[in-house]
Structure 1
Amino acid sequence: MTGTTPATDALDLAEAGAVLAAEAARFAALGWMRGTSGNLSLVLSRDPLRLAVTASGRDKGELTPPDVVLTDGEGAAVGPGRPSAEAALHARVARLTGAGAVVHVHTVASVVMGRRSPEGIRFEGLEMLKGLGHPTHEVAVTLPVIANSQDMTELGDRLEAALTPGMPAVVVAGHGIYVWGADPREARHRTEVVEWLLELAAAEG
């Protein structure tokens, strides 16, 4: 998906909507996008940066392909619709990391561990770390935790400062997790892995 003209963007937006609707349904079924919480994005083009972002206030278990909004590289709508209030953060993650897709879900384990370990959550010697791209379980990585803010510029600054090699995710304290990947499938797999790690840490106390 690399369209840069309005006509191509419109076609890509429809395709992206179908992909994001399917991804949202999976996350909602897991209980990670309750009510209208959470948001997803998919990069449509890099130059200029354009993203498909789930629309604000939609039930993520009932999304349809039209329930996405085209945004620019700052997260502002390009055309009709109102994207998630956190679209600017999705765009910033895409700019900073080169990600092709970003997942934001609200999980109980992420809130528990964000409160328990505000300095960051360390994982070591776990086979599931291979799911984040590590060639062996014999590694130690830290999942960053950042303070929440309703100001997406401020939150983006905190995320940028906290980016950690080998960890394509961050916990926003009291809020949820952001996870990213090259495409929606990789972003989903990484989200599942990060949530598994968080649930393990929460269970271990």
Structure 2
Amino acid sequence: MATTLEQRIDAFKRLDDVKLTFARRDWFPGTSGNLSIKTGDDPIEFAVTASGKDKTKLSSEDYLIVDVEANPIEKTNLKPSAETLIHAVVYKNIPSAGACFHVHTLGNNLISELYFSRGAFSIQGQELIKGLGIWEENARISVPIVENFADIPKLASAIEKVITPEIPGVLIRNHGIYTWGRNDFEAKRHLEAFEFLFEYHLRWLQLRHIDLP
């Protein structure tokens, strides 16, 4: 069923809340980043941030509804974010995903560059891994990292090859992270957990050679 007016209004309101929360954390430098919330499964449709908007502010033209090919479902002057096709790849390949968020931070950029040659960033035994819904004792996760291809279809294809339901995120080298969840609350929790794990690891790298008293 196509997205209804009520679903559209609800999705836009929830995107407002997420956008302002992340903006207060400076996770959208230079209008970067994009957010989406799925509004329908058959066919797949989702609300996504419009391109080039100041994400520290709210306006009546911040979002639009697109289909699984990342095309607007109705005539509009708005352009979907350039990387909307990546959101579509997530929704096509992770059926449980109901929201997908992408931000650029120093932490996720540094981690993606440091560990790109390994193809993934791995961390074990950190409490915030539970924020990803992984509760095994001394759990270990590996977050895949793909090359930052300028060609968006090529980038989307690279991401499609590595994402799995078990790890709700993927890093793009020197670019940022995409993470998702069953809804906006869960996707936000996953993103916060990832960002904490990245910052923790970077601080640990800095401090591990300090002699303790």
Tell me whether the two structures share a fold, i.e. TM-score over 0.5: yes
1:178 aligned partner, one-letter code: Y
Provide the rounded CA distance (Å) in 2 between the counterparts of 1:150 and 1:77: 22
1:9-48 pair list within 5 angstroms: 10-48=5-43
Partner residue, 1:101: 99
SS at match of 1:128: helix
Q: Give the aligned CA root-mean-square deviation in angstroms.
A: 1.4
Structure 1 unpaired stretches of 5+: none
3-state DSSP of counterpart to 1:150: coil
Greater alpha carbon shift after TM alignment, 20-29 vs 61-70: 61-70
* Aligned-residue offset at 1:165: 5.3
Residue of structure 2 aligned with 1:111, choices 98, 109, 113: 109
1:75 equivalent in structure 2? 70
Residue 156 of structure 1 corresponds to 156
> Structure 2 length normalisation: TM-score?
0.89
**CA deviation after TM superposition for structure 1 residue 153, in Å:** 1.8
Q: Which has the larger radius of gyration?
A: 2
Structure 1 residues 116 and 171, CA, compared in 2 at 3 Å: closer, same or farther?
A: same
Amino acid of the structure 1 residue aligned with 2:73 = V
Q: Is the 8 A contact 1:21 1:64 kept in 2?
A: no
SS of the residue 2:37 aligns to:
strand
**SS of residue in 2 equivalent to 1:60:** coil
How far did residue 39 of structure 1 move?
A: 0.5
Distance 1:36 1:166 in 2: 30
User: Which of 54, 60, 79 matches 1:59?
Assistant: 54
Q: For residue 112 of structure 2, what is the amino acid of its counterpart?
A: G
Q: Within the alignment, does 1:87 sit opposite 2:111 as a pair?
A: no
Aligned equivalent of 1:136: 136
Closer/same/farther in 2, CA of residues 122 and 164 from structure 1, 3 Å limit: farther
Q: Is the 8 A contact 2:94 2:165 kept in 1?
A: no
Distance in 2 (CA, whole Å) between partners of 1:165 and 1:72 is 22
| Structure 1 position 11, deviation (Å) | 3.1
- Matches of 1:164 and 1:40 in 2, distance apart? 19
Counterpart code for 2:81: S
SS where residue 197 of structure 1 aligns?
A: helix
C-alpha distance in 1 between matches for 2:165 and 2:51:
31
Identity of aligned residues (%): 34
- Structure-1 residue corresponding to 2:211: none
Residue 162 of structure 1 and its aligned partner are, at CA, apart by 1.7
Aligned mates of 1:89, 1:164 — CA distance in 2:
14
| Most deviating of 143-152 and 163-172 | 163-172
Q: CA separation in 2, counterparts of 1:131 and 1:122?
A: 16
Q: CA deviation at 1:63?
A: 2.8
The residue type paired with residue 83 of structure 1 is P
Q: What residue number does 2:185 align with?
A: 185
Give the letter for the 1:76 counterpart.
N
Structure 1 position 133, deviation (Å): 0.8
Q: How far did residue 15 of structure 1 move?
A: 1.9
Aligned-partner residue type, residue 70 of structure 1: I
Show structure 2 runs of 5+ residues with no match: 206-213
